[in-house]
Each structure stands twice: as structure tokens, then as C-alpha cells.
Amino acid sequence: MNSNGMSGENITVTQKILFLSYRRELYEEICYFLAGEYDILYHRIRENENSTAAMDENVVLCMIEMLRFTEKSAEMLHEIRSKLSIPILLISGARTEKTRKEETVHAIRSGADGYLVSTQSAEEIAAEATALIRLQQRIKEQPEVWTYGELQIIPDRRQVFRKGQEISLTRIEFDLVYYLAVQNGRVVTYKELYEAVWHSEYLFDDESIMAHIHRIRRKLEADRKHPFYIQNVYGVGYRFGCCCTRE
């Protein structure tokens, strides 16, 4: 016992899966296959509700069941992906092969890590969920490191280092650095950058982008007047001035 009268033994924290859906039927079937390994939380999807409200630090996977993948579905994925780095498995009620193919591409591009249809068995869906969790755990154990000169980016941990020292970045700052870095020197327009990072329509708000880039340069660049990493392409946008080597 410790001084509080509690046992000194380590407490095992159960990993959680968040299941977002408009109905409970599939959730209950999934529980049959996964409840022994994970604590599965059901949260009903409601219009205009914050999809990340039910999240906590022990959630290792988000499963989303919906009738069809729509623009609102894409917005939900963007919202979750902007705040959390856990895998997202989408389960659609698509009925035709044509719809399934179209939705698969749209969903993956919008941030989903896997796409299945609700006509597949609950056992198949549970197996895919387990595989995504295992993959995420392996990534965390051996994270990929992207090196750009003196700069190192660890995408899955949302960390940036310069000369071995971690640089503190806000969510928007990291997303800007990450998006420019993955282009490996390709010029990114203001419009593309704004829509990719803010996930909203571009309204020619270049000043907001420039203000964030200015703050990032203060943290990353040795000489802000002659930036090495984030370079201006005047009248167009920005490019990352150094190509990547990956470890």
C-alpha cells in the first residue's frame, strides 16, 4: 500500500475504441469480437456536434459508420484528423461497386486509414480494426524520421527538431511545415496551402498564412531574412527549400 492506502501495483489502462454511428446494431456486433481486448465506446452521430468530444487519451482507434460518404463526412474526418493522430476506419452503407470505389478514394484522401462497407461481416470489420491498431503501435515504437538538412520531422509524433533540439509548434504551425515539407520542393500556392491546413474555403486571406509563416521562420530559420527551409515564391506561394531523406 502507498501513503494513500492504495496498492502500489501498476494499473493497466484499457485501450479504447470510439465507435461513431447513427445506429447501435453494428456496434453491438463489433463488441462481440473486440470487447475482450478493448473498451468500445459508442457515440451517436448527431448533426452539428463536435465529433472529437468523446475522445480521450486512451482512444487508439476511431470507427465511423455512416450511410454514405458525403462532404459532411469529409469535414468530420478533417476535424478528427486535425486534432488526433489515431487511425480512422470508415464503414459505409454503400450498396454498389461503383459507389464503393468512388467513396474509397474520397475517404482515404480525406484522412481515413481504412474503408469497408457495412455488408461485410462484423468479424471482418473487427479484424481490420485490430490490424490498424497494431500498425499504429509499430509506428510509435519505430517512428519514421524525415531529415531536411539540420531539421528532423517525426510525422506520427508531430514533432520537429533542429540540431537535435525539439521546436515547439502549434497545431497550425506543424501542419504548415508538414504540408510544405512533404512536397519536396514543389511550389504550393496560397490557395492550396490554406485549404489543406485550415480545411475551409480559400478567401484570399494571404495575411493569415504569412503571419503563421513569419512565426515559423522565427523558430526554424538560422537567418530569417534569407530563409533556407520555407522559401517565398512571390505572388504564388511557398516551397520547402530542402529535399528529404528518410530513416
Dist. CA 96–CA 179, nearest whole Å: 34
pLDDT band at 3 (very low <50, low <70, confident <90, very high): very low
- CATH superfamily for domain 16-141: Response regulator (3.40.50.2300)
Q: Does domain 146-246 have CATH number 1.10.10.10?
A: yes
**pLDDT of residue 159 exceeding 50:** yes
% of the chain exceeding 70 in pLDDT? 87
Domains 16-141 and 146-246 belong to one CATH topology? no
pLDDT value of position 247: 56
pLDDT value of position 11: 46
Dist. CA 161–CA 95, nearest whole Å: 47
pLDDT value of position 12: 53
Q: What is the layout of strands, in order, in the sheet containing 39-44?
A: 39-44, 16-21, 59-66, 88-92, 114-117
Spell out the domain ranges in the chain: 16-141, 146-246
Q: What is the mean pLDDT of the chain?
A: 85
Reported as a single tens digit per residue, the pLDDT across 59-117 is 899 999 999 998 888 888 887 877 777 899 999 999 899 999 999 988 888 888 899 99
pTM listed for this prediction: 0.56
Residue 70 CB contacts under 8 Å (≥ 6 apart), including other chains: none
Reported as a single tens digit per residue, the pLDDT across 168-204 is 999 889 999 999 998 888 999 999 999 888 877 887 7
Within 10 angstroms of residue 107's Cβ, the number of other Cβ atoms is: 23
